[in-house]
Amino acid sequence: MKKRTKKLLSMLLVGVMTVSLAACGQKGGEEKEGGSEEGAGGGLSFTAEETKTLEDWGAAVKKSLDGTEITVAMASHPSTDAFKKMEKEFTDLTGIKVVWDIVEETNLKNKQLLDAQGAGSYDVFMVDAFWMSEYASKNVLLPISDFAEDETKTPEWFDYEDIMPAYRNGIAGAGGVNYGIPTAGETRFIAYRTDLFDQYGKKAPTTMDEFLELAQFFNGKEDGLYGVSMRAQRGIHFASGWMSLMYNFGGGFLDQETIGSDDEVVTCTTDETKESLKYFVDLLKCAPPDVGSYTHEEALGAFISGKTAMWLDATALAGQITDPESSTVADKVAFVPTPTGPAGDGAALAGWNLGIPETSKNKDAAWAFISYMASKEKVKEYVENGGVATRASAFEDPELQEANPSYEAQKLALESANGLVEKGLSWIPQHDSINQILDIAGGYGSSALTGDTTTDQACEDMQKDIEDLIK
């Protein structure tokens, strides 16, 4: 087995699927007029009395940081678009100028890591949870609690505790240290056709048994109608779809307590993992015949076009389901959390964070940007601009609830996801070879779906290949 030190282990055991924003700073470490000393973060300090209102805070920040320029490395993402719409007020309030470097998700990680090796061009990073273990092991990001828990740098109205516990505890940290502020998160839940369920006298599923029974009932019930739609493309997409329900059976690819140790344990051949794969394959037999090619996009398309009675995938896609311009079922759909399985609840958890790179030359200004953009004070505007809610206050806002009818189900799904966090489990195991592990598992799982092998044999084969990989 692969050897690792305890130090590396602590860095690898990070939160699940997060993204952090890191901001860019001034080149060469020169101090700009009005900026903090070498951007080191020592220039910003205020009292609670001085920052009771947004305007008061802006004046306090401007006093220290007026004229500072930060550069932010962001993904091409709806949340980035939402933040950009808030830029003018931020700059007017604080005097901090923002340079945006917006990069496709596939290129963002490499660009950030390259910069973190020494250039220090950025002050804020937007980081996917998938990358967090690597970022922690390479000391890319600063502990965000150094800022969020400092009353001299963070106004009360930021309200860190308002961030949903599943996101705050599940996707923002590594080794017990939080490195980012969750700003776009998702779990998974079910959407179902209320017209069909009412017509046939059916109730929404609450257990895995009910979910499968309903999928089987609706499959072929009407011409061109299938029971369910999920992602199941060969490889990582299949593994991701499988993981939507795997933990509810008590299954998993790895014993997460052993990750990073001298004796990592692969768990693909446990009864629970085998049962979860058999269940998933049986469920997919109630999907459209081309489900083996589905990513999240094709799975969504099948549901919103009216081809399936149910859909299980990311909460972040709910808006497209309820949008009458894109969905034929917009006015006849409801949502429920991922059903309970033999091992209880265990919903997915993923998202993006805003964080500050170690190499930032304008750390206080970077935090001012994050604490404004990701605050409780601005969350409603952010969501209305197209951002993805991560705060309890957003889910509880009556106007946002009316505009987003899935919010109540999303809250329940996040409670389920937090249950997984409380068990000490990351939905995406934080292993340095996780991409390869998921590709292997999803490859053999796909073979079981096509009938090229049995589900039991698929689990035996992936067990061997994953063990060979991590030796």
Output the pLDDT for position 32: 35
pLDDT at 39 over 80: no
Across the range 310-330, mean pLDDT stands at 96
Across the range 396-412, mean pLDDT stands at 95
Give the Cα separation of 108 and 128 in Å (integer).
9
Complete domains list, the chain, with CATH: 6-186+350-407 (3.40.190.10), 188-346+433-470 (3.40.190.10)
Please report, rounded to a whole number, the percentage of residues in the chain having pLDDT higher than 70.
91
Among candidate residues 21, 28, 123, 115, the one with its CA nearest the CA of residue 71: 123
Query: What confidence category does residue 41 fall into, taking pLDDT thresholds of 50, 70 and 90?
Result: very low
DSSP codes of every residue in 238-254 = HHHHHHHHHGGGT--SB
Give the Cα separation of 469 and 471 in Å (integer).
6
User: What does each C-alpha distance from 4 to 174, 265, 329, 380 come to in angstroms?
Assistant: 16, 14, 51, 44
Question: How does pLDDT run across 134-174, given as a tens digit for each residue?
Answer: 898 899 999 998 999 999 999 999 999 999 999 998 899 87
pTM of the model: 0.83
| Strands 69-75 and 123-128, sheet pairing | parallel
400 in Cβ contact with 407 (< 8 Å): yes
Output the pLDDT for position 8: 32
Q: Which residues, in sequence order, are CB contacts of 210 under 8 Å at separation 6+?
A: 339
